[in-house]
Amino acid sequence: MAAALRGLRGNGRRGGAGSGGGSPAPRDPHHTAPPSQPHRPLTLPPPARAGPAPWLWPRPAIPSLTPSLPPGLAAAAHPAGGPPLGARLLRQSCRRPAEPRAGSEPGGQLPEGVEYIPSRRGKNPMKMVGVAWYSLYARTRLGYLFYKRQVKKARERYPHGHSVSQPVGFGAVKILPIPVLSNNYSYLVIDTGSGRAAVVDPSDPLAVQAVIEEEGVLLEAILCTHKHWDHSGGNAALRQQHGSCKVYGSARDAVPELTNPLTDKEWVSVGCLRFEALVTPGHTVGHVAYVLDVAPFGGPPCLFAGDLLFLAGCGRLFEGSPETMLASLDVAVGLGEDTLLWPGHEYALECLTFASLLERDNPALERKLCWATQQRQEKRSTCPSTIGEEKSYNPFLRTHRRELQEALGLTRRSGEPCDAFRARVLSEVRRRKDLYKGT
């Protein structure tokens, strides 16, 4: 989400809303053969394929699908005699209130234990965005128009995706990372036996649809981690294209097109695929991570973390306190060291570089940074990681480590509970990361 916000300060042009085909008739859920696609196929150039690897499926390339700007939006963005709409709203929304109330989130009541954290000491970790601007992005049509503009720019800049990724398989389970926008990842997860599939965070519906058609599968579920447009912006278009598709997520987060609200530890089944929903607030009030159970196929658990956890990083605390985020990160750590981490963004190189400034004598961190540097020089994806790896170098998972605490100049106060001190460490790491560079 923050990547979408960083490029929105000056220009006022917005892209148009996504389009989709008609809704197909409902299908028999017990049908086991890969179903035919009743919807109108997209007209795409022949996809290029990477060279095969013995343990990976070839990666389908994402074709260039750049739409045109509707003239009405372009005219609205540049009113005669005035600055662009985005510039005017940005200038107004960055004015901080005199005394923002801690624990009060603009536009809604927060659950117990979750606190809305405004800017502190006059330094806004969201830089030029501001609390009001974040609310506009997350809750209004204006945010959707900004998202569409980012989609258009990303399609022009990265017609085949921002990274080269490779599908991973475990028996009848196939996971395809789809690089979308400037640094997001969507994930198409397929039951290869029945041809049924689920997609996690479909940021760009055309890119996701291209992979669905390439694989010849039936999309039955959209698993949305949170409401931000760069994770949920494709929900409506894909539901229009696949009429029987259900949208899962948290009711607290106002996920677009939500059909099936989830609670903590609730299960979602798609063919032989079973996902467990874990409510992990902090980045947003209703953030949900999904754990795919691959044990029946001899594989490790797969955590689709959205903006909870990145390689060497974590999401910003837009709608949660450090204590809330710490508890959510502890949920991820509790999944086990062999759990594969599939993050919502390609932030590895930036996050590892920042972490290396905190812990200058961490061999695991040095090795991972060298590896990630090589990967990104070749535009290769850095996911997945594992929870075990993350515990060795991710500062947001190392709040209990004395070396990190000393590097930050923090000591535990007399009588301070352990988790309260860890939350203070996490808050300081997050503050420094926000000042280092936005993610």
Determine which one of 191, 283, 287, 434 is catalytic.
Answer: 283
The helix/strand/coil state of 428 is helix
Tokens of 76: 């609205």
- Please, are residues 186 and 203 in contact by the beta-carbon 8 Å criterion? yes
Q: What is the dihedral of CA 147, 148, 149, 153, to 10 degrees?
A: 100
Tokens of 329: 């990160």
Burial grade of 47 (CB within 10 A; 0-12, 13-18, 19 or more): middle
Determine which one of 201, 253, 307, 434 is catalytic.
Answer: 307
Alpha-carbon span 59 to 45, nearest angstrom: 15
Alpha-carbon span 343 to 184, nearest angstrom: 9
Determine which one of 230, 253, 287, 434 is catalytic.
Answer: 230
Tokens of 397: 């998972």
Determine which one of 162, 228, 242, 287 is catalytic.
Answer: 228
- Please, are residues 232 and 255 in contact by the beta-carbon 8 Å criterion? yes
For residue 179, which phi and psi values (nearest 5 degrees)? Answer: -75, 125
- Please, are residues 155 and 162 in contact by the beta-carbon 8 Å criterion? no
Q: Could you tell me the strand order of the sheet in which 184-191 lies?
A: 168-170, 173-180, 184-191, 196-200, 218-223, 246-249, 260-261
Determine which one of 162, 226, 242, 287 is catalytic.
Answer: 226
- Please, are residues 85 and 76 in contact by the beta-carbon 8 Å criterion? yes
Q: Other C-beta atoms within 10 Å of 244: how many?
A: 15
**Known active-site residue 283:** yes
| Residue type at 277 in one-letter notation | A
Element (H, E) at 343: strand 340-343
Tokens of 321: 């306190």
**Known active-site residue 230:** yes
Determine which one of 231, 242, 253, 287 is catalytic.
Answer: 231
Q: How many whole angstroms from its chain centre is CA 5?
A: 14
Q: Please, how many CA atoms are within 13 Å of residue 267, restricted to the half-sphere of its CB?
A: 8
Alpha-carbon span 429 to 433, nearest angstrom: 6
**Known active-site residue 39:** no
- Please, are residues 324 and 331 in contact by the beta-carbon 8 Å criterion? no
- Please, are residues 184 and 203 in contact by the beta-carbon 8 Å criterion? yes
Cite the active site residues: 226, 228, 230-231, 283, 307, 345
